Chains A and B, each alone.
Chain A
Amino acid sequence: MIGIVDYGLGNLFSVKKAFEALGNDALITNDPDAIKKADRVVLPGIGAFGDGMNYLKEKGLDEALTEAVIRQGKPFLGICLGLQLLAETGEEYGTHTGLGWIRGRVRKIDVKSSGLKIPHIGWNDIALRNDSPLLDNVRAPKDFYFVHSYQLECADSADVVAITEYGEIITAAVQHGNIFATQFHPEKSQDHGLQLLKNFILWTP
Protein backbone atom coordinates (compact mmCIF):
# COMPACT_ATOMS: atom_id res chain seq x y z
CA MET A 1 0.00 0.00 0.00
CA ILE A 2 1.20 3.47 -0.92
CA GLY A 3 0.45 6.06 1.75
CA ILE A 4 -0.33 9.54 0.43
CA VAL A 5 0.04 12.10 3.20
CA ASP A 6 -3.04 14.32 3.44
CA TYR A 7 -2.35 17.65 5.07
CA GLY A 8 -5.08 19.60 3.32
CA LEU A 9 -3.01 20.90 0.41
CA GLY A 10 -2.69 19.89 -3.21
CA ASN A 11 -4.49 17.67 -5.65
CA LEU A 12 -4.29 14.36 -3.82
CA PHE A 13 -7.05 12.87 -5.95
CA SER A 14 -4.85 12.92 -9.05
CA VAL A 15 -1.88 11.42 -7.21
CA LYS A 16 -4.06 8.55 -6.02
CA LYS A 17 -5.66 8.04 -9.45
CA ALA A 18 -2.24 7.99 -11.13
CA PHE A 19 -1.05 5.17 -8.84
CA GLU A 20 -4.34 3.34 -9.40
CA ALA A 21 -3.98 3.73 -13.18
CA LEU A 22 -0.65 1.91 -12.74
CA GLY A 23 -2.40 -0.89 -10.88
CA ASN A 24 -1.45 0.03 -7.31
CA ASP A 25 -3.52 0.70 -4.24
CA ALA A 26 -2.99 4.07 -2.67
CA LEU A 27 -4.46 5.50 0.50
CA ILE A 28 -4.95 9.21 1.16
CA THR A 29 -4.55 9.62 4.90
CA ASN A 30 -3.76 12.03 7.70
CA ASP A 31 -3.43 9.21 10.23
CA PRO A 32 0.18 8.99 11.49
CA ASP A 33 -0.22 5.22 12.13
CA ALA A 34 -1.33 4.58 8.55
CA ILE A 35 1.77 6.39 7.30
CA LYS A 36 3.99 4.24 9.51
CA LYS A 37 2.29 1.10 8.14
CA ALA A 38 2.48 2.07 4.45
CA ASP A 39 5.03 0.32 2.22
CA ARG A 40 5.88 3.54 0.42
CA VAL A 41 5.20 7.13 1.37
CA VAL A 42 4.23 10.05 -0.87
CA LEU A 43 4.18 13.65 0.32
CA PRO A 44 2.42 15.78 -2.32
CA GLY A 45 1.22 19.32 -1.79
CA ILE A 46 1.10 22.79 -3.13
CA GLY A 47 1.01 26.03 -1.19
CA ALA A 48 3.14 27.88 1.30
CA PHE A 49 6.07 26.38 3.23
CA GLY A 50 5.05 27.60 6.70
CA ASP A 51 1.45 26.41 6.36
CA GLY A 52 2.65 23.02 5.13
CA MET A 53 4.97 22.49 8.10
CA ASN A 54 2.32 23.68 10.55
CA TYR A 55 -0.25 21.21 9.23
CA LEU A 56 2.26 18.36 9.41
CA LYS A 57 3.13 19.21 13.02
CA GLU A 58 -0.48 19.76 14.12
CA LYS A 59 -1.44 16.26 12.99
CA GLY A 60 1.77 14.63 14.22
CA LEU A 61 2.61 13.77 10.64
CA ASP A 62 6.16 15.15 10.84
CA GLU A 63 6.96 12.53 13.51
CA ALA A 64 5.26 9.78 11.51
CA LEU A 65 7.23 10.74 8.39
CA THR A 66 10.53 10.71 10.29
CA GLU A 67 9.71 7.29 11.71
CA ALA A 68 8.64 5.79 8.37
CA VAL A 69 11.24 7.36 6.11
CA ILE A 70 14.32 8.07 8.23
CA ARG A 71 14.18 5.26 10.82
CA GLN A 72 12.44 2.54 8.77
CA GLY A 73 13.94 3.60 5.44
CA LYS A 74 10.75 3.33 3.37
CA PRO A 75 10.90 4.61 -0.21
CA PHE A 76 9.73 8.21 -0.15
CA LEU A 77 8.48 10.50 -2.92
CA GLY A 78 7.95 14.22 -2.34
CA ILE A 79 6.11 16.31 -4.92
CA CYS A 80 6.29 20.12 -5.26
CA LEU A 81 5.78 21.48 -1.73
CA GLY A 82 6.59 17.91 -0.67
CA LEU A 83 10.08 18.48 -2.07
CA GLN A 84 10.49 21.92 -0.54
CA LEU A 85 9.52 20.77 2.97
CA LEU A 86 12.56 18.47 2.97
CA ALA A 87 14.84 21.51 3.20
CA GLU A 88 16.35 22.84 6.40
CA THR A 89 14.65 26.21 6.03
CA GLY A 90 12.02 27.92 3.89
CA GLU A 91 11.85 31.64 3.27
CA GLU A 92 8.25 32.03 2.13
CA TYR A 93 6.35 34.54 4.34
CA GLY A 94 9.12 34.59 6.97
CA THR A 95 11.73 31.95 7.75
CA HIS A 96 10.47 28.51 8.74
CA THR A 97 12.16 25.27 9.77
CA GLY A 98 11.61 22.34 7.42
CA LEU A 99 12.04 18.59 7.88
CA GLY A 100 15.78 19.02 7.21
CA TRP A 101 16.22 15.76 5.31
CA ILE A 102 17.96 17.52 2.43
CA ARG A 103 20.56 20.18 3.17
CA GLY A 104 19.58 23.51 1.70
CA ARG A 105 17.08 26.33 1.78
CA VAL A 106 13.90 27.18 -0.10
CA ARG A 107 13.88 30.68 -1.55
CA LYS A 108 12.01 32.66 -4.20
CA ILE A 109 12.93 32.00 -7.83
CA ASP A 110 15.14 34.82 -9.11
CA VAL A 111 14.07 35.62 -12.68
CA LYS A 112 16.36 38.67 -12.61
CA SER A 113 15.83 40.85 -15.67
CA SER A 114 14.65 38.00 -17.88
CA GLY A 115 11.09 39.36 -18.09
CA LEU A 116 9.84 35.92 -17.10
CA LYS A 117 6.64 35.64 -15.07
CA ILE A 118 6.29 34.29 -11.55
CA PRO A 119 4.95 31.65 -10.80
CA HIS A 120 6.90 29.38 -13.12
CA ILE A 121 3.96 27.54 -14.68
CA GLY A 122 4.09 24.99 -17.46
CA TRP A 123 6.03 22.19 -19.10
CA ASN A 124 9.78 22.50 -18.94
CA ASP A 125 12.67 20.23 -19.91
CA ILE A 126 14.85 18.75 -17.22
CA ALA A 127 18.55 17.91 -17.50
CA LEU A 128 20.05 15.10 -15.45
CA ARG A 129 22.83 15.97 -13.03
CA ASN A 130 23.14 12.62 -11.28
CA ASP A 131 21.83 9.17 -12.12
CA SER A 132 18.63 8.03 -10.52
CA PRO A 133 16.55 4.93 -11.24
CA LEU A 134 13.47 7.12 -10.80
CA LEU A 135 14.14 8.79 -14.15
CA ASP A 136 14.83 5.58 -16.08
CA ASN A 137 12.91 5.01 -19.32
CA VAL A 138 11.65 8.59 -19.56
CA ARG A 139 11.94 9.44 -23.23
CA ALA A 140 13.59 12.67 -24.41
CA PRO A 141 12.69 15.46 -24.38
CA LYS A 142 12.15 14.93 -20.68
CA ASP A 143 9.54 17.59 -20.01
CA PHE A 144 7.41 17.79 -16.90
CA TYR A 145 4.76 20.14 -15.53
CA PHE A 146 5.96 22.74 -13.04
CA VAL A 147 4.01 25.22 -10.97
CA HIS A 148 5.90 27.06 -8.24
CA SER A 149 7.35 30.42 -7.16
CA TYR A 150 10.02 29.10 -4.77
CA GLN A 151 12.79 26.61 -5.27
CA LEU A 152 15.11 24.42 -3.21
CA GLU A 153 18.72 25.53 -3.35
CA CYS A 154 20.65 22.42 -2.32
CA ALA A 155 23.80 22.75 -0.21
CA ASP A 156 25.14 19.46 -1.52
CA SER A 157 25.20 19.08 -5.31
CA ALA A 158 25.28 15.29 -4.92
CA ASP A 159 21.61 15.49 -3.85
CA VAL A 160 20.54 17.15 -7.12
CA VAL A 161 19.31 14.59 -9.64
CA ALA A 162 17.88 16.98 -12.22
CA ILE A 163 17.60 20.67 -12.95
CA THR A 164 15.55 22.89 -15.20
CA GLU A 165 16.01 26.48 -16.30
CA TYR A 166 13.73 29.40 -15.65
CA GLY A 167 15.62 32.67 -15.41
CA GLU A 168 18.15 30.70 -13.39
CA ILE A 169 19.00 27.07 -12.64
CA ILE A 170 16.11 25.45 -10.77
CA THR A 171 16.35 22.25 -8.76
CA ALA A 172 13.92 19.88 -10.49
CA ALA A 173 14.55 16.61 -8.61
CA VAL A 174 16.58 15.50 -5.60
CA GLN A 175 17.57 12.15 -4.19
CA HIS A 176 19.28 11.20 -0.97
CA GLY A 177 19.23 7.49 -0.16
CA ASN A 178 15.59 6.38 0.03
CA ILE A 179 14.34 9.96 -0.33
CA PHE A 180 13.37 11.15 -3.79
CA ALA A 181 11.45 14.32 -4.59
CA THR A 182 10.42 16.39 -7.58
CA GLN A 183 9.63 20.08 -7.91
CA PHE A 184 7.44 19.19 -10.90
CA HIS A 185 4.20 17.22 -10.80
CA PRO A 186 4.58 13.65 -12.14
CA GLU A 187 0.85 13.10 -11.63
CA LYS A 188 0.23 15.95 -14.11
CA SER A 189 2.97 15.11 -16.61
CA GLN A 190 1.19 12.52 -18.73
CA ASP A 191 3.28 9.53 -19.85
CA HIS A 192 6.57 10.92 -18.51
CA GLY A 193 5.07 11.41 -15.09
CA LEU A 194 3.42 8.00 -15.06
CA GLN A 195 6.77 6.42 -15.97
CA LEU A 196 8.39 8.16 -12.99
CA LEU A 197 5.62 6.94 -10.66
CA LYS A 198 6.02 3.43 -12.06
CA ASN A 199 9.77 3.64 -11.34
CA PHE A 200 8.95 4.74 -7.80
CA ILE A 201 6.68 1.73 -7.26
CA LEU A 202 9.46 -0.63 -8.38
CA TRP A 203 12.25 1.23 -6.57
CA THR A 204 14.22 -0.67 -3.91
CA PRO A 205 16.66 1.88 -2.47
Chain B
Amino acid sequence: MVKVRLIPTVLLMNGRMVKTKQFDSYRDVGNPTTVARVYDAQHADELVFLDITATTDERHFLLETIREVAQECFIPITAGGGIQSLNQARELLRNGADKVAINTHAIERPALINEIANAFGNSTVLVSIDYKQNAAGMPEVHTHRGQKPTGLHPVAWAKEVEKRGAGEILLTSIDREGTMTGYDVETLRVVADAVEIPIIANGGVGTVQDFVDGVQKGHASAVAAASIFHFTDQSIFKAHSHMKEKGLSVRR
Protein backbone atom coordinates (compact mmCIF):
# COMPACT_ATOMS: atom_id res chain seq x y z
CA MET B 1 0.00 0.00 0.00
CA VAL B 2 1.29 3.47 -0.78
CA LYS B 3 2.31 5.31 2.38
CA VAL B 4 0.99 8.62 3.61
CA ARG B 5 3.69 11.19 2.98
CA LEU B 6 4.79 13.42 5.82
CA ILE B 7 6.30 16.57 4.36
CA PRO B 8 8.10 19.32 6.27
CA THR B 9 7.81 22.67 4.52
CA VAL B 10 10.64 25.17 4.67
CA LEU B 11 9.86 28.85 4.06
CA LEU B 12 12.76 30.87 2.74
CA MET B 13 13.32 34.60 2.90
CA ASN B 14 16.53 36.13 1.61
CA GLY B 15 18.25 32.77 1.92
CA ARG B 16 17.21 32.14 5.52
CA MET B 17 14.53 29.87 6.84
CA VAL B 18 11.64 31.78 8.43
CA LYS B 19 8.51 30.96 10.37
CA THR B 20 5.30 32.87 9.77
CA LYS B 21 1.88 33.11 11.34
CA GLN B 22 -1.15 33.58 9.08
CA PHE B 23 1.29 34.60 6.34
CA ASP B 24 2.62 37.41 8.51
CA SER B 25 5.04 38.12 11.42
CA TYR B 26 8.27 36.62 10.05
CA ARG B 27 10.84 35.09 12.34
CA ASP B 28 14.27 33.84 11.36
CA VAL B 29 14.60 30.22 12.43
CA GLY B 30 17.86 29.13 10.87
CA ASN B 31 19.85 27.83 7.95
CA PRO B 32 17.63 25.91 5.52
CA THR B 33 20.25 23.34 4.52
CA THR B 34 21.03 22.45 8.12
CA VAL B 35 17.35 22.00 8.85
CA ALA B 36 16.84 19.91 5.69
CA ARG B 37 19.66 17.62 6.79
CA VAL B 38 17.86 16.97 10.08
CA TYR B 39 14.54 16.24 8.33
CA ASP B 40 16.29 13.88 5.94
CA ALA B 41 17.96 12.04 8.82
CA GLN B 42 14.56 11.68 10.51
CA HIS B 43 13.10 10.08 7.36
CA ALA B 44 10.91 12.88 6.10
CA ASP B 45 9.16 11.55 3.00
CA GLU B 46 9.72 14.68 0.91
CA LEU B 47 10.82 18.28 1.36
CA VAL B 48 9.09 21.43 0.15
CA PHE B 49 10.92 24.75 -0.10
CA LEU B 50 8.89 27.90 -0.72
CA ASP B 51 10.70 31.18 -1.23
CA ILE B 52 8.67 34.13 0.03
CA THR B 53 11.34 36.74 -0.64
CA ALA B 54 9.58 39.83 -1.89
CA THR B 55 12.02 40.98 -4.56
CA THR B 56 13.00 38.87 -7.56
CA ASP B 57 16.64 40.06 -7.25
CA GLU B 58 17.09 38.03 -4.10
CA ARG B 59 15.44 34.88 -5.41
CA HIS B 60 18.73 33.24 -6.42
CA PHE B 61 18.91 31.90 -2.87
CA LEU B 62 16.17 29.39 -3.71
CA LEU B 63 18.24 27.85 -6.49
CA GLU B 64 21.34 27.78 -4.28
CA THR B 65 19.45 26.15 -1.42
CA ILE B 66 17.99 23.48 -3.71
CA ARG B 67 21.42 22.71 -5.18
CA GLU B 68 22.94 22.44 -1.73
CA VAL B 69 20.20 20.24 -0.30
CA ALA B 70 20.06 17.98 -3.36
CA GLN B 71 23.80 17.24 -3.04
CA GLU B 72 23.15 15.20 0.07
CA CYS B 73 19.44 14.58 0.61
CA PHE B 74 18.14 11.80 -1.62
CA ILE B 75 14.43 12.35 -1.15
CA PRO B 76 11.99 14.23 -3.40
CA ILE B 77 12.37 18.00 -3.33
CA THR B 78 9.81 20.60 -4.38
CA ALA B 79 10.87 24.19 -5.04
CA GLY B 80 8.53 27.15 -5.31
CA GLY B 81 8.28 30.90 -4.98
CA GLY B 82 7.84 33.45 -7.73
CA ILE B 83 8.11 30.97 -10.62
CA GLN B 84 6.49 32.60 -13.62
CA SER B 85 8.09 31.01 -16.65
CA LEU B 86 9.01 27.65 -18.10
CA ASN B 87 12.67 28.68 -18.00
CA GLN B 88 12.62 29.36 -14.28
CA ALA B 89 10.99 25.99 -13.73
CA ARG B 90 13.57 24.29 -15.95
CA GLU B 91 16.46 25.86 -14.04
CA LEU B 92 15.17 24.54 -10.71
CA LEU B 93 14.43 21.10 -12.19
CA ARG B 94 17.94 20.92 -13.61
CA ASN B 95 19.47 21.78 -10.26
CA GLY B 96 17.99 19.20 -7.96
CA ALA B 97 14.26 19.95 -7.72
CA ASP B 98 11.91 17.10 -8.65
CA LYS B 99 8.86 19.32 -8.74
CA VAL B 100 8.11 23.00 -8.88
CA ALA B 101 5.35 24.69 -6.92
CA ILE B 102 3.48 27.51 -8.61
CA ASN B 103 0.85 29.72 -7.07
CA THR B 104 0.25 33.42 -7.86
CA HIS B 105 1.57 33.18 -11.42
CA ALA B 106 -0.61 30.14 -12.12
CA ILE B 107 -3.68 32.25 -11.39
CA GLU B 108 -2.40 35.25 -13.33
CA ARG B 109 -1.53 33.06 -16.31
CA PRO B 110 -3.06 29.57 -15.99
CA ALA B 111 -1.33 28.39 -19.20
CA LEU B 112 1.86 28.25 -17.12
CA ILE B 113 0.52 24.99 -15.62
CA ASN B 114 0.04 23.46 -19.09
CA GLU B 115 3.45 24.65 -20.24
CA ILE B 116 5.38 23.06 -17.38
CA ALA B 117 3.24 19.89 -17.43
CA ASN B 118 3.71 19.47 -21.18
CA ALA B 119 7.46 20.03 -21.01
CA PHE B 120 8.32 17.99 -17.91
CA GLY B 121 5.31 15.84 -17.09
CA ASN B 122 2.30 16.34 -14.82
CA SER B 123 4.07 15.01 -11.78
CA THR B 124 6.59 17.86 -11.83
CA VAL B 125 3.86 20.49 -11.37
CA LEU B 126 2.56 21.11 -7.90
CA VAL B 127 0.02 23.90 -7.69
CA SER B 128 -0.01 25.63 -4.35
CA ILE B 129 -3.43 27.00 -3.39
CA ASP B 130 -3.75 29.44 -0.47
CA TYR B 131 -7.20 30.35 0.77
CA LYS B 132 -8.95 32.06 3.68
CA GLN B 133 -12.52 32.68 4.76
CA ASN B 134 -13.98 35.78 3.12
CA ALA B 135 -16.55 38.19 4.59
CA ALA B 136 -19.34 35.88 3.39
CA GLY B 137 -17.81 33.02 5.38
CA MET B 138 -16.74 31.14 2.24
CA PRO B 139 -13.23 29.90 1.50
CA GLU B 140 -11.64 32.09 -1.18
CA VAL B 141 -8.34 31.60 -2.99
CA HIS B 142 -5.83 34.39 -2.34
CA THR B 143 -2.59 35.13 -4.18
CA HIS B 144 0.45 37.32 -3.45
CA ARG B 145 1.11 35.68 -0.08
CA GLY B 146 -2.52 35.98 0.94
CA GLN B 147 -2.82 39.66 0.04
CA LYS B 148 -5.02 39.47 -3.03
CA PRO B 149 -8.49 37.88 -3.13
CA THR B 150 -9.28 36.19 -6.44
CA GLY B 151 -13.01 35.52 -6.21
CA LEU B 152 -12.27 31.81 -6.75
CA HIS B 153 -13.50 28.99 -4.56
CA PRO B 154 -10.69 26.47 -3.86
CA VAL B 155 -12.77 23.65 -5.39
CA ALA B 156 -13.25 25.53 -8.68
CA TRP B 157 -9.57 26.40 -8.89
CA ALA B 158 -8.48 22.88 -7.92
CA LYS B 159 -10.57 21.40 -10.75
CA GLU B 160 -9.12 23.90 -13.19
CA VAL B 161 -5.50 23.17 -12.25
CA GLU B 162 -6.18 19.43 -12.48
CA LYS B 163 -7.61 19.87 -15.98
CA ARG B 164 -4.54 21.86 -16.99
CA GLY B 165 -2.16 19.10 -15.92
CA ALA B 166 -1.14 19.72 -12.31
CA GLY B 167 0.14 16.51 -10.69
CA GLU B 168 -0.87 17.46 -7.16
CA ILE B 169 -2.06 20.33 -5.01
CA LEU B 170 -0.62 21.83 -1.84
CA LEU B 171 -3.68 23.26 -0.09
CA THR B 172 -2.95 25.85 2.60
CA SER B 173 -5.43 27.49 4.94
CA ILE B 174 -4.06 30.98 5.59
CA ASP B 175 -6.30 31.33 8.65
CA ARG B 176 -4.72 28.27 10.22
CA GLU B 177 -1.14 28.72 9.03
CA GLY B 178 1.30 28.96 11.95
CA THR B 179 -1.50 28.90 14.54
CA MET B 180 -1.03 25.23 15.49
CA THR B 181 -4.80 24.76 15.82
CA GLY B 182 -5.15 21.89 13.30
CA TYR B 183 -5.96 21.64 9.60
CA ASP B 184 -9.20 23.08 8.23
CA VAL B 185 -10.45 19.55 7.55
CA GLU B 186 -13.84 20.63 6.18
CA THR B 187 -12.41 22.59 3.25
CA LEU B 188 -9.69 20.01 2.81
CA ARG B 189 -12.25 17.26 2.38
CA VAL B 190 -14.41 19.06 -0.17
CA VAL B 191 -11.36 19.86 -2.28
CA ALA B 192 -9.84 16.37 -1.97
CA ASP B 193 -13.14 14.74 -2.92
CA ALA B 194 -13.58 17.02 -5.92
CA VAL B 195 -10.38 16.08 -7.78
CA GLU B 196 -8.55 12.90 -8.78
CA ILE B 197 -5.05 14.21 -8.13
CA PRO B 198 -3.48 13.97 -4.65
CA ILE B 199 -3.96 16.79 -2.15
CA ILE B 200 -1.25 17.72 0.35
CA ALA B 201 -2.81 19.27 3.46
CA ASN B 202 -1.00 22.29 4.87
CA GLY B 203 -1.44 24.97 7.51
CA GLY B 204 -2.24 24.66 11.17
CA VAL B 205 -0.72 21.45 12.51
CA GLY B 206 -0.20 21.67 16.27
CA THR B 207 -0.24 18.03 17.34
CA VAL B 208 0.65 14.75 15.65
CA GLN B 209 -3.05 13.82 15.74
CA ASP B 210 -3.69 16.65 13.25
CA PHE B 211 -1.79 14.64 10.61
CA VAL B 212 -4.11 11.70 11.19
CA ASP B 213 -7.19 13.93 10.97
CA GLY B 214 -5.91 15.46 7.73
CA VAL B 215 -5.96 12.02 6.12
CA GLN B 216 -8.89 10.35 7.84
CA LYS B 217 -11.25 13.33 8.06
CA GLY B 218 -9.81 15.60 5.39
CA HIS B 219 -9.08 12.86 2.81
CA ALA B 220 -5.62 14.27 2.10
CA SER B 221 -3.09 11.99 0.39
CA ALA B 222 -0.15 13.65 2.10
CA VAL B 223 0.34 15.95 5.07
CA ALA B 224 2.64 18.94 5.42
CA ALA B 225 3.67 21.17 8.31
CA ALA B 226 6.37 23.55 9.45
CA SER B 227 5.95 24.93 12.98
CA ILE B 228 5.41 21.64 14.75
CA PHE B 229 8.85 20.42 13.74
CA HIS B 230 10.60 23.61 14.84
CA PHE B 231 8.82 24.70 17.95
CA THR B 232 7.77 21.54 19.72
CA ASP B 233 9.55 18.34 20.66
CA GLN B 234 7.50 16.49 18.03
CA SER B 235 9.94 15.04 15.54
CA ILE B 236 9.19 13.35 12.24
CA PHE B 237 9.88 10.04 13.99
CA LYS B 238 7.19 10.75 16.56
CA ALA B 239 4.72 11.88 13.92
CA HIS B 240 5.28 8.76 11.81
CA SER B 241 4.92 6.54 14.85
CA HIS B 242 1.67 8.21 15.95
CA MET B 243 0.24 7.95 12.44
CA LYS B 244 1.10 4.27 12.35
CA GLU B 245 -0.52 3.72 15.74
CA LYS B 246 -3.72 5.28 14.35
CA GLY B 247 -3.79 2.84 11.46
CA LEU B 248 -2.16 4.86 8.69
CA SER B 249 0.37 3.27 6.40
CA VAL B 250 3.65 5.17 6.87
CA ARG B 251 7.34 4.69 6.31
CA ARG B 252 9.61 3.23 9.02
Contact = CB atoms under 8 A, between A and B. Distances in A.
Nearest to A139: B252
A46 B1 CA distance: 22
Interface of B: 1-5, 40, 43, 45, 67, 70-72, 74-77, 93-98, 119-124, 167-168, 196-198, 221-222, 251-252
Interface stretch (A69-77, A96-104, A154-162, A189-197): A189-197
Interface in A142-199: 143, 145-149, 165-166, 185, 187-190, 193-194
A193 B45 CA distance: 13
B249 to A, nearest CB: 9
A188 B97 CA distance: 11
A124 B2 contact: yes
B5 A119 contact: no
Contact of B96 (A17, A119, A147): A17
A189 B74 contact: yes
B168 to A, nearest CB: 6
Contact of A48 (B1, B71, B121): B121
B222 A117 contact: no
Interface stretch (A7-15, A32-40, A129-137): A7-15
A47 B2 contact: no
Nearest to A81: B121
A125 interface: yes
Contacts of B70: 11, 13-14, 17
A125 B1 contact: yes
Contact of A118 (B4, B72, B196): B196
Given A123-B5, A125-B1, A190-B40, 6 more contacts: A11-B93, A11-B98, A14-B74, A46-B120, A118-B197, A123-B3
27 contacts: A11-B98, A13-B67, A17-B70, A17-B72, A21-B71, A117-B197, A117-B198, A119-B167, A120-B2, A121-B2, A121-B123, A121-B222, A122-B5, A123-B5, A124-B1, A124-B2, A124-B3, A143-B251, A146-B2, A147-B123, A147-B167, A148-B123, A165-B1, A166-B2, A189-B75, A190-B74, A190-B75
A141 B1 CA distance: 12
Main secondary structure on chain B at its contact with chain A? loop
B122 A119 contact: yes
A160 to B, nearest CB: 19
A131 to B, nearest CB: 24
B123 A149 contact: yes
B189 to A, nearest CB: 13
Interface in A69-126: 81, 116-125
A27 to B, nearest CB: 15
A42 interface: no
Nearest to A166: B2
Contacts of A121: 2, 5, 123, 167-168, 198, 221-222
The 6 A-B residue pairs whose C-beta atoms are closest, nearest first, are A47-B121, A117-B198, A123-B3, A147-B123, A124-B2, A13-B96
A122 B196 CA distance: 15
B74 A18 contact: yes
A21 B74 contact: yes
Contact of A188 (B75, B95, B221, B251): B75
Contacts of B71: 17, 21
A15 to B, nearest CB: 10
A14 B3 contact: no
A14 B2 contact: no
Contacts of B120: 9, 46-47
Contacts of A187: 74
A123 B72 contact: no
Contacts of B222: 121-122
Contact of B197 (A119, A141, A145, A194): A119
A119 B5 CA distance: 14
Contacts of B221: 117, 121-122
Contacts of B122: 119, 149
Contacts of A166: 2
B123 A13 contact: no
A144 B77 CA distance: 15
A191 to B, nearest CB: 8
B45 to A, nearest CB: 6
